[in-house]
Structure 1
């Protein structure tokens, strides 16, 4: 089974619960993906260098 994940990024936190003016991307991963591989898949999709930036989910 595959899982679709919506990524919202490059926006501004207007409050603790409101994220505005963001861009949307998405990835599809298998249900058995590890946390480390999920972080890597997100970083690759968003062109993030994990050595320079921290990815939090």
Structure 2
């Protein structure tokens, strides 16, 4: 099974739950993707050189909930 992921990036956090002036992109990944592969897919889609920049991956369950950081394979399995 594949999962579509909406990527919101290049914006600013106005508050803990409000992100504005962002750009949107998307990727499709397999349900069993590993964290490293997810990070690689996101950085490739957004053309980010991870040797020069660090990316932080967060997941928002609902529009007004606080973002939850995905830091490892367990986070990927919980949120995807």
- TM-score by shorter chain over 0.5: yes
Q: Offset at 1:2?
A: 0.1
Counterpart of 2:35 in structure 1 is 35
- C-alpha distance in 1, partners of 2:37/2:53? 16
SS of corresponding position for 1:39: helix
TM-score (norm 2): 0.69
SS of corresponding position for 2:15: coil
Q: Offset at 1:29?
A: 0.3
TM-score (norm 1): 0.95
> Structure 1: which 5+ runs fail to align?
none
Counterpart of 2:14 in structure 1 is 14
Displaced runs of 4+ in structure 1, greater than 4 A?
A: none
